[in-house]
Amino acid sequence: MNETSIPSAQLNGFQDHPLRYELANELHARPFPDLAPPTHAVYLAIKRPEAAASRDRGADRAHLLELLDRFGATHPAPEATHYFGELGRHRIKWECHTEFVTYTIFLDGVEARPFDPASFDVFPADWLDKAPGQRMTSALIRVQRLEGGIETAVEQSKAWFVSESLTISEVLDGDAVVSADFRIDSAGHTRLAVFVRPDVGPRRVGRVVQRLIEIETYKTMSMLGLPRARELSRAMGEIDTRLTELVGRMSDQDVDAEDSLSQLLAIAAELENMMAQSTFRFGATAAYEAIVLQRIAALREQRVQGRVTFEEFMTRRFDPAMRTVKSTEARLKAMAGRALRAGGLLRTRVDVARQAQNQDLLKSMDRRADLQLRLQETVEGLSVVAISYYAVNLTSYVAYPFTETLGLSETVTEAMLTPPVVFLVWLMVRKIRKHVG
Residues 397-423, mean pLDDT to the nearest whole number: 76
pLDDT value of position 351: 67
CA–CA separation, 315 and 324 (whole Å): 13
Asked if residues 425 and 384 have their Cβ atoms less than 8 Å apart, the reply is yes
Classified as helix, coil or strand, 47 is strand
Mean pLDDT over each residue of the chain, to the nearest integer: 85
Q: Which helix (H) or strand (E) holds 333?
A: helix 319-405
What are the pLDDT digits (tens) for 47-83? 987 655 466 788 999 999 999 999 999 999 888 888 9
pLDDT value of position 19: 83
Query: b/e for 141-174, b at 16 or more Cβ within 10 A?
Result: bbbbebeeeeeebbebbeebbeeeebbbbbbbee
Strand pairing partners for 139?
Answer: 43, 190
What are the pLDDT digits (tens) for 101-137? 999 999 999 999 999 999 999 999 999 999 999 999 9
Instruction: State the pairing for strand pair 90-96/82-87.
Output: antiparallel
As a whole-number percent, the residues of the chain with pLDDT over 90 amount to: 50
Give the Å distances, CA to CA, from 333 to 8, 228, 281, 290, 341.
Answer: 54, 15, 15, 21, 12
Q: How far apart are the first and last CA of the chain?
A: 99
Whether 224 has a pLDDT exceeding 80, the answer reads yes
Whether 315 has a pLDDT exceeding 80, the answer reads yes
Which residues have a Cβ under 8 Å from the Cβ of 213 and sit 6 or more positions away?
A: 41, 43, 102, 104, 139, 141, 192
Among 19-28, 41-50, 404-413, the range with the most confident prediction by mean pLDDT is 41-50
CA–CA separation, 16 and 20 (whole Å): 7
pLDDT value of position 12: 58
Q: What is the pTM of this model?
A: 0.76
What are the pLDDT digits (tens) for 333-379? 998 888 887 777 667 666 666 777 777 788 888 888 878 777 776 76
What confidence tier does 437 reach under pLDDT thresholds 50, 70, 90? low
pLDDT value of position 252: 67
What are the pLDDT digits (tens) for 276-295? 889 999 999 999 999 999 99
Whether 258 has a pLDDT exceeding 60, the answer reads yes
CA–CA separation, 325 and 334 (whole Å): 14
pLDDT value of position 349: 66
What are the pLDDT digits (tens) for 149-204? 899 999 999 999 999 999 999 999 899 999 999 999 999 999 999 999 999 999 99
pLDDT value of position 301: 95
Whether 396 has a pLDDT exceeding 70, the answer reads yes
